[in-house]
Amino acid sequence: MTQENGVTTEILDKTANPAPLGFTGLGLAAILLSLSYIGVYPMDSMIVSMAIFLGGFAQVFAGIMAWKKGDIFGGTAFSAFGLFWFSLAGLITMPAMGWVETPSSSAMAAYLFTWGIYTFVLLVVTMKIGVRAIQFVFATLFALFMLLAAVNVTGSVGLLTVAGFVGLIMGLGALYTALSMVLNEIHGKTVVPV
């Protein structure tokens, strides 16, 4: 709101809520990656493409839009996890191109564990936000990172399959969150609970 010469002008923010885009990027990329952990298909260019172009770009764009709206949580979380997807794509493609060595199991465990700790702190923040769907996404994402870190320590194929199912549930939760936000906003009321 600004005031000039005794006239008050109110500027309304008419930009869209970026959270559905961010949760869509997270959800679709996570579902497809998790299906490879379960063994439905191998990790291939489809996974790398989804990581870069949907998991990465969609979440970074959503993070920038959230930041512009003054949403520190959305801006930080979506931007950081978008960059996570870019880094994951790099961990897959750079060794395949001969640019760097494939990371060791202990290095991957440290990478995933660190992301798990970061996710846990954001999970704590979601308790203040109070949106159950977002809390569910961050709780299952935390569990997924910890399971994947454990997989890299133990080498357990069974644990990787469990992580795949947790990732699938988390991805579906993220899509539910995204689509419920869109439906509720379009209808102007709560059609689907979040």
Are 107 and 63 within 8 A, CB to CB?
Answer: no
Q: Is residue 121 part of a domain?
A: yes
Q: Is residue 31 part of a domain?
A: yes
Q: Tell me which residue has tokens 């996974």.
A: 47
pLDDT at 11: 76
Q: Is residue 144 part of a domain?
A: yes
Q: Tell me which residue has tokens 């989804």.
A: 50
pLDDT at 2: 65
57-68 helix and 72-96 helix, angle to the nearest 10 degrees:
160
How far apart are the C-alpha atoms of 117 and 71, rounded to whole Å? 22
Q: Is residue 193 part of a domain?
A: no
pLDDT at 1: 63
How far apart are the C-alpha atoms of 74 and 19, rounded to whole Å? 7
Tell me the β-bridge partners of 2: 9
How far apart are the C-alpha atoms of 142 and 104, rounded to whole Å? 22
The string of DSSP codes covering 41-86 is: S-S-HHHHHHIIIIIIHHHHHHHHHHHHTT-HHHHHHHHHHHHHHH
* 3-state secondary structure at position 9: strand
Instruction: Return the ∠ at Cα 40 (arms to 178 and 94), rounded to 5°.
Output: 80
Instruction: Look up the domain containing 99 and give its range.
Output: 18-187
Query: Hey, what are 15's tokens?
Result: 């930009």
What's the total number of domains in the chain?
1
Q: Is residue 194 part of a domain?
A: no
Q: Is residue 165 part of a domain?
A: yes
Q: Is residue 9 part of a domain?
A: no
Q: Is residue 11 part of a domain?
A: no
pTM score of the predicted model: 0.92
Q: What is the pLDDT along the chain (194 residues), one digit of tens a residue?
A: 667 777 887 878 788 999 999 999 999 999 999 999 999 999 999 999 999 999 999 999 999 999 999 999 999 999 999 999 999 999 999 999 999 999 999 999 999 999 999 999 999 999 999 999 999 999 999 999 999 999 999 999 999 999 999 999 999 999 999 999 999 999 999 999 99
